[in-house]
Amino acid sequence: MLAKLSSLVILLLLVPLQFSASWAASTSGLDKFVRCISLHSTLNSLQIPKAFFSPKNSSSFTSVLQSTAQNLRYLTPSVPKPEFIFTPLRDSHVQAAVTCSKQLRIHLRVRSGGHDYEGVSYASEIETPFIIVDLSKLRSIKVDIEDNTAWVQAGATVGEVYYRISRESNTHGFPAGLCSSLGIGGHITGGAYGSMMRKYGLGADNVVDARIVDATGRILDRAAMGEDLFWAIRGGGGGSFGIILWWKLNLVPVPETVTVFTVTKTLEQGATKILNRWQQVVDSLDEDLFIRVIIQPAKIGNTTKRTVSTSYNSLFLGDADELLDVMEKSFPELGLTRKDCIETTWIGSVLYIAGYPTGTKPEVLLEGKSTFKSYFKAKSDFVKAPIPETGLNGFWRRFMQEETALTIWTPYGGMMSKISESEIPFPHRKGTIFMIQYLSSWGDGDKYAEKHIDWIRKLYNYMTPYVSKFPRETYVNYRDLDLGMNKKLSNTSNFITSSVWGYNYFKKNFYRLLLVKTRVDPDNLFRHEQSIPPLPFRKRSRASWTATYG
């Protein structure tokens, strides 16, 4: 005991020499936080420089802040920066971070992969000062092929998870994201769709256990947290209920040979009629077949005239001959040929769909580097009935007004139609034909941001008659602060405003999420611009709430 106390005294003496950051004019907040972490965990003096990054004393601060930040809009000088970044090295360090955040009354944001579209995992528009708990050093992956499961830490990327599974088996996979640099921790909290969603559902549909740090600092698994909280964290959005440490994934079977293709059609090649046909059939195609459409403005040859390029990007869980047979019966209008088809392994399809050049080795997935970093604004929609050609033509005219526009249309149907809307918080199931992601990106910082954001808002408004209604459904992992934002420490106001965007993201599941939040985090420790707020009247029973709101 004396030795432990002596070590702690030495540690506390060393800390002020290494760091100094203040969230109050006269106190060193970082020093206090390091002392607190050291008291509540096994973090030692040798680990501190590897775990804390301060803008005043660490040349690595900017590098760490920017390392996984996807949307550069939230790294501009006008956006408040964290007081410091803490990168836990063990699960117990995350526990301590929660305890110390409460004790020292410093707001925390949690980042696993940094892909939040509105930057809420590494920026704060409503509350300063704040700190970032960055989980990037917690990236262990334990694959158990005999059990068909894998335990993965929240800081691992989707690409790393795919790679580790493929090293153990060429007939196992996991149905999550298309972008390999996504952090698995945050990705699954929003649902996690990917190229096998029509066969196996979402990543969140295939989670069988988890470990989470709750608002009291306890580490809970599924049995300890209870089914309500386990339900909420699988699709209810990140940053509301606790800090995910681990997911236990149910692995799914994949064939030894799969087939991928990309076929591109421009307006001059009949893109409108082909896309119209795609809308008619895509949700009823063989569930082994996933065909998304990537739509971008393009130039016509070497001229300055513009057109629209529609690229049909696909994964089929089978060989090319099987695929050609399915396409001939279901979607011959695309004109797929044997030459268009590439037979590969499942891990090869991961690289292909993610956009890596042909011949790229799977080890690139271990780098965890994002292939897309930009200043951007995005929105999303869910489509319940085919958009008529007149609607598509109006869309093309508006779409070509933006230089770097992008929209991706993702097919539903298959398993997505078989799972109940209330099975997990992600409600976009039966009746959805496809999802639309709209995106405008630019490279000139804040200078012309307003112009690009105004364009995407107008395009979104144009699409109103053609997409879901009451509510206009939106995907929480394509976060959109235009739908509304929480305010600092205002539970009543936040409850009212969140009912708008909450219903867009979760439909009726939002009300169950409110109840779970109120029970597990009544003081709203885990909060951000669009986190689930606790109810302002905590004593209302679940029965009375359900009777009132359904």
Ordered structural domains, the chain, with CATH: 2-134 (3.30.43.10), 141-253 (3.30.465.10), 258-344+374-478 (3.40.462.20), 487-549 (no CATH)
Residue of 139, 15, 124, 140 whose CA lies nearest to 65: 124
Report pLDDT for 542: 53
Report pLDDT for 13: 37
503 in catalytic set: no
Report pLDDT for 549: 46
The tokens of 462 are what? Answer: 């144009």
Burial 82-97 (b: 16+ CB within 10 A, else e): bbbbbbbebbbbbbbb
Decide: pTM greater than 0.85: yes
Residue of 343, 465, 292 whose CA lies nearest to 395: 465
CB atoms within 10 A of CB 44: 12
Residue ranges in the chain modelled with pLDDT below 50: 1-27, 539, 545, 547-550
Q: Percentage of the chain with pLDDT > 70? A: 92
How big is the CA angle at 244 (ends 241 and 247), to the nearest 5 degrees? 125
Q: Which is it for strands 107-111 and 130-134: parallel, antiparallel or unpaired? A: parallel
Which residues is 407 bridged to in the sheet? 295, 438
Q: Which is it for strands 85-86 and 130-134: parallel, antiparallel or unpaired? A: parallel
Q: Which is it for strands 219-220 and 207-213: parallel, antiparallel or unpaired? A: antiparallel
Which residues is 247 bridged to in the sheet? 152, 210
Note the helical H segments in 401-441: 415-418
- Residue of 200, 478, 503, 511 with catalytic role: 478
CB-based contact 499:458 (threshold 8 Å): no
Report pLDDT for 212: 99
